[in-house]
Amino acid sequence: MSCCKVPVLIEAQVEMGSVNELEHKSLFRQEEDAAQTKEVSLMEQGSLSTSFAQHTPKAPKNTMLNSIKIVIFCNKLNLLLPFGPLAILVHYMIDSKGWVFLLTLVGITPLAERLGYATEQLACYTGPTVGGLLNATFGNVTELIISIFALKNGMIRVVQLTLLGSILSNMLLVLGCAFFCGGLVFYQKDQVFDKGTATVNSGLLLMAVMGILFPAVLHYTHSEVHAGSSELALSRFSSCIMLIAYAAYLFFQLKSQSNSYSPLDEETNQNEETSAEDEDPEISKWEAIIWLSILTAWVSLLSGYLVDAIEGASVSWNIPIAFISVILLPIVGNAAEHAGAIMFAMKDKLDLSLGVAIGSSIQISMFAVPFCVVIGWMMGQQMDLNFQLFETAMLFITVIVVAFFLQEGTSNYFKGLMLILCYLIVAASFFVHEDPQQDGI
C-alpha cells in the first residue's frame, strides 16, 4: 500500500510544481507584456524615441584640450587647414587670384569634412530622423555661404551655377560613390532602402525641376505678358511656393514619418544593435554645437576670399567660370556629404546615405535656391529661377536618371558606377560649355 502511494504522491507534487511554475511564468509574462505596452505607448506619444529605446548614447566628459585633439588633430585631412590662413596672406601680399582661389579651395575642404563630423556627433543625441536632416543642413552650409557672398557682389550666375552644381554633385557623385563603396563591401547581395521614401524624394526633386523649368520656358518661348518682369515675378512666386513645400516636407519628416530614416528589415536592425556600442559620440552635445559655430564662421571668412578670386582664377587658368562654379566648388562643399554617405553605405545603412545625398539635393533645390531668390529680392538683386536652357536640361535629365535608379529600392556597385560615369559626362559637358550670359557674372 505504502509503495503504491509513494508514486502517486510524487506525481501529485510534480503536477502541483508544474502548475506553480506555469503560474509563475504567466505572471512574468504579464509583467513583460505590460512593460512592452507601456514602452510602445510612450513611443507613440513621442516621449520616448525608437532610437533611444534601442541605444542611449553616453556623453563623454572631455576637457578643452581633449576636444581640440579629437576634432583637429585626429584627422589626417586637417593637415590642409593651414592652407586657409596661407590663402589670406597670399591675398594681401601677392594678390594672385589664381593662387588665392586654389589655396582657399584646399583650405575649405577639411572644414567641410569637419562640419560633417560635428554634425554626426550632434546627430547621436537627436535620433536618426533629425540626424539625417542635420547632416543635409550643415553639409550645405558651405554652398549657401558662398552663394550669399556671391549674391552680395552681384554675381547672380555664380550663385545659380554653384547651387545647380551642388544638386548635380549630390545626386550623381555623392550617391554614386555611396552605392559603389557600399556595393563593394556587400558585393554578395543587393543593399535595400525604403522605396516609399525614395519615391517621395524623387517627387520633390521633380517639383523643384518644375519650378526652375517654367521660367526658362517662359523666357525662351518669348511668351511673357510683360517682357523682362513676368519671368522675375514668376520666379519669386514659385520660390515662395517651394519654400512652403519644403516646410511641409520637414513637418512630414519630423512628425508624420518619424521613422523614414530607420532601417527596413530585422537584419539591418540587428546590425545596428551590434554596432551601437561602436557609435557612441566622441564629444558632448554642447561641444558639437560650439564646434559647428566655429567651423561655420571660419568657412564664412574663407568664402569671401574664394568668391573674390573666382573671376581671376578663370582668367589665369583659362577655365570657364561655369566649370568652376558647377564642378569645383560643389566638390569641395560636398566633402561632408561624401564622407557621411559613404560611411553609412559601408555600414549597410543605405537609408541614412539617401537621407544625406538625396535629402541634401532636396534641401538645395527646395530651400537654398528659392531662399537665394528671396534674399536677392531683399537686396535688390534680380535673382530668378531661369538657369538657362543648357543647365535646366542637364538638371531635368539628371533627376529622371536618378529616379529610375531609385525606383527598385535596391542598390549595388554597378548602379553606383553608372551614376559616377554620368557625373563625368556632366563635368565634361560644362568644361566645353560657354555660358552665354556673361553679363550676369
* Residue 178 · residue 186 · CB < 8 Å: no
375 pLDDT tier (thresholds 50, 70, 90)? very high
The pLDDT assigned to 338 comes to: 76
Give the number of other CB atoms < 10 A from CB of residue 24.
10
138 vs 363 pLDDT, higher one: 363
419 pLDDT tier (thresholds 50, 70, 90)? very high
Percentage of the chain lying above the pLDDT 90 cut: 28
276 pLDDT tier (thresholds 50, 70, 90)? very low
pLDDT > 50? residue 263: no
Report which listed range, 168-182, 319-333, 346-360, is most confident. Answer: 168-182
Quote the DSSP letter at residue 410: E
Provide the whole-model pTM. Answer: 0.76
User: Mean pLDDT across the stretch 159-181?
Assistant: 92
Residue 139 carries which side chain, given as an amino acid letter? G
pLDDT > 50? residue 31: no
pLDDT > 50? residue 391: yes
Report which listed range, 57-71, 278-292, 299-313, is most confident. Answer: 299-313
95 pLDDT tier (thresholds 50, 70, 90)? confident
Helices in 124-222 by DSSP H: which ranges?
128-139, 141-152, 156-168, 175-185, 195-220
Please give the Cα distance from 262 to 260 (Å, whole number): 6
Report the chain's terminal Cα–Cα distance, integer Å: 112
In the block, cell 545625398 appears at 357
- Looking at beta carbons, which pairs linking 337-340 to residues 24 or more positions away fall under 8 Å? 337/116, 337/135, 337/136, 337/139, 337/170, 337/174, 338/173, 338/174, 338/177, 339/113, 339/116, 339/117, 340/116, 340/119, 340/120, 340/135, 340/139
Quote the DSSP letter at residue 405: H
pLDDT > 50? residue 264: no
Q: Is 258 helix (H, G, I), strand (E, B) or coil?
A: coil
Quote the DSSP letter at residue 192: E
Please give the Cα distance from 201 to 198 (Å, whole number): 5
Dihedral of the alpha carbons of 134, 140, 141, 142, in degrees to the nearest 10 = 150
* Residue 114 · residue 78 · CB < 8 Å: yes
Phi-psi label, residue 46: left if phi above 0, alpha if psi -120 to 50, beta otherwise = left
Non-local CB neighbours of 21 within 8 Å, separated by 6+ positions: none
Quote the DSSP letter at residue 368: I
The pLDDT assigned to 7 comes to: 45
The pLDDT assigned to 197 comes to: 85
Give the number of other CB atoms < 10 A from CB of residue 433.
16
Which residues are bridge partners to 192 per DSSP?
410
User: Mean pLDDT across the stretch 55-61?
Assistant: 63
- Residue 232 vs residues 163, 235, 388, 400: alpha-carbon distances, Å: 18, 5, 13, 26
In 313-343, which positions are buried (b, 16+ CB within 10 angstroms) versus exposed (e)? bbeeeeebbbbbbbbbbbbbbbbbbbbbbbb
Q: Which helix (H) or strand (E) holds 64?
A: helix 64-68
The pLDDT assigned to 178 comes to: 92
User: Mean pLDDT across the stretch 225-241?
Assistant: 88
Range of lowest pLDDT (78-82, 184-188, 260-264): 260-264
User: Mean pLDDT across the stretch 162-181?
Assistant: 92
CATH topology of domain 74-258+281-432: A middle domain of Talin 1 (1.20.1420)
331 pLDDT tier (thresholds 50, 70, 90)? confident
274 vs 193 pLDDT, higher one: 193
The pLDDT assigned to 440 comes to: 43
57 pLDDT tier (thresholds 50, 70, 90)? low
390 pLDDT tier (thresholds 50, 70, 90)? very high
| Largest Cα–Cα separation, the chain | 116
297 vs 137 pLDDT, higher one: 297
Please give the Cα distance from 405 to 257 (Å, whole number): 23
Tens of pLDDT, residue by residue over 421-434, are 999 999 999 999 88
Can you say how many angstroms the Cα of residue 74 is from the centroid of all Cα atoms in its chain?
A: 23
Domain ranges, ordered by start, for the chain = 74-258+281-432
398 pLDDT tier (thresholds 50, 70, 90)? very high
pLDDT > 70? residue 35: no
* Residue 396 · residue 166 · CB < 8 Å: no
The pLDDT assigned to 258 comes to: 53
58 pLDDT tier (thresholds 50, 70, 90)? low
Would you say how long the chain is, in residues? 441
Q: Which helix (H) or strand (E) holds 34?
A: helix 2-45
Round the average pLDDT of the chain to a whole number and report it: 79
